[in-house]
Chains A and B, each alone.
Chain A
């Protein structure tokens, strides 16, 4: 009996110890990631100033000039246009799903969103290559009198927008559902129409949540790699219009890792690109999280 008791205690001690180790690791993980990337890119800081790195557009690794502006602009363009496409679609879809839809339709749309959210990013890339790219070169570009192969900022943005739709939509649906039903019912009972209620009560109440969900989507889009890499064209230039090819930061990292291992400075430049992504995404997510703290049922 005593042995058994001892056994239970030992088990408890071992498992508790493991839990402490595991949770310390997890809590430290963001700091380990950040510091690791910082040290890896420190070689670059020693010779170039931060301002130079971020705002110079001279990218000549062979003579040690690393200006990331071209790549940052590539990322900004793709992300921004993707947001322009997906934001209205997400807001309208979330409104109709939470306010108007019948049970029967929900049974269709929820699995659709789930599957879209689960599809791997390369699959979106393949879709981009076989559908979006030809569509842009044969239909959209001629419409605007532009000449392009289709591998362009626009292609990247379209693929990206489809990828982040399920992500934003899920958050939006959650947020609209946390708005107390009494509020909308009060408005309806005062004689407002359904749309007026949505416009003056629901959207107003949910505004911080809407902004936050778009912010999360933006952070997600900023770091998305494979799908964008496959369709965006990857030319080192600052895009002048949406039909130009671009070169976003994640694509820079993904494309160059293998070959550039031999040049230590190039490696640390790519680590710096990863650090930029890390910092931007963390800061953005932290800000948005604070914005919706009051919705959370933590």
Chain B
């Protein structure tokens, strides 16, 4: 009897935990959409803020949308150029070197956990060191450092499931390691790699702490890498603290836009990873 009660007690705790998790997501989405959807209109998406982002009542958040996209595309591109070859290197060149491979994975897991504010501070130091000012470029460099370990580890997780036989077959037919990497292993796991890149893009577009000191903030849309750029997360953060209600509305609208971008990324990567699991050998 006591056993039964104990089991029921813990089952209900499990049920409550699940309910809490699901309902907290519903509450987050509901509360922000309720505030933000009303403020979201065409003007918000197509205009820059007029009269300063902090006090100006008119205009929208186009500067932040474009800035965020520039920044995240730039950083994701840079991280892909560095990260995908690294992941391939680990799984083609180093596949037999267990010890080295484990050490690299260990290091990657360690920097994977470093908070983005630390990258922000480091990026700022780097910026001063290199003599560049707060700009799109500085932001891109910092965010690249931040998402690089995430991307490599995600690609690595995908690539390490690719069968060794495939690799050996390609090599034994006389292809170079480069051809094996990019034309066989990479193509085989392609949708998985795209998922990993999307995941990194989502990280890049959502992070605020790493661009706080490096990308700057501006009302205008950057036309070169040397100009500062506004980003969506920072537009939420700065405009929410403004005393003007219209400006606060811009912050809520930005939050809705950001959530929608994240949801789309999440849906896309879900669809892709389904495809990946279907095509896998």
Contacts and interface: CB of A to CB of B under 8 A. Distances in A.
Genuine A/B complex: yes
Interface in B12-58: 13-18, 20-22, 24-25, 27-28, 31-32, 35
A37 B125 contact: yes
Contact of B107 (A30, A92, A216): A30
A54 interface: no
B111 A29 contact: yes
Contacts of B242: none
Chain B interface size, as a band, is 35 or more
B172 to A, nearest CB: 16
B273 to A, nearest CB: 10
A26 interface: yes
B6 A195 contact: yes
Contacts of B187: none
Nearest to B180: A12
Contacts of B106: 286, 289
B269 to A, nearest CB: 9
B122 A37 contact: yes
**Best-surrounded residue of A89, A122, A223, A289 (most CB of chain B within 10 A):** A122
**Best-surrounded residue of A123, A224, A273, A286 (most CB of chain B within 10 A):** A123
Given A36-B126, A253-B117, A93 B255 contact: no
Contacts of B179: 8, 12
B169 interface: no
**Best-surrounded residue of A20, A127, A219, A284 (most CB of chain B within 10 A):** A127
Chain A interface size, as a band, is 35 or more
Contacts of B93: 16, 19
Given A11-B178, A89-B20, A126 B86 contact: no
Main SS of the interface on chain A?
A: helix
Interface string B78-117: 0000110110111001000010011011111111011111
A281 B178 contact: no
A121 B251 CA distance: 14
Contacts of A282: 110-111, 113-114
Interface in B118-143: 118-122, 124-126
A16 B177 contact: yes
B266 A223 contact: no
B190 interface: no
A6 interface: no
Interface stretch (A112-120, A138-146, A180-188, A239-247): A112-120
B15 to A, nearest CB: 7
Contacts of A258: 213
Nearest to A284: B113
Interface of A: 8-9, 11-12, 15-16, 18-20, 22-23, 25-27, 29-30, 33, 36-37, 40, 88-90, 92-93, 95-97, 100, 108-109, 111-116, 118-127, 129-131, 162, 165, 169, 193-196, 216, 219-220, 222-226, 230, 250, 253-254, 257-258, 270-271, 273-274, 277-278, 281-282, 284-286, 289, 298
15 contacts: A12-B179, A16-B93, A22-B85, A30-B114, A118-B202, A118-B265, A119-B28, A121-B233, A127-B31, A195-B10, A195-B11, A225-B115, A225-B117, A257-B121, A274-B118
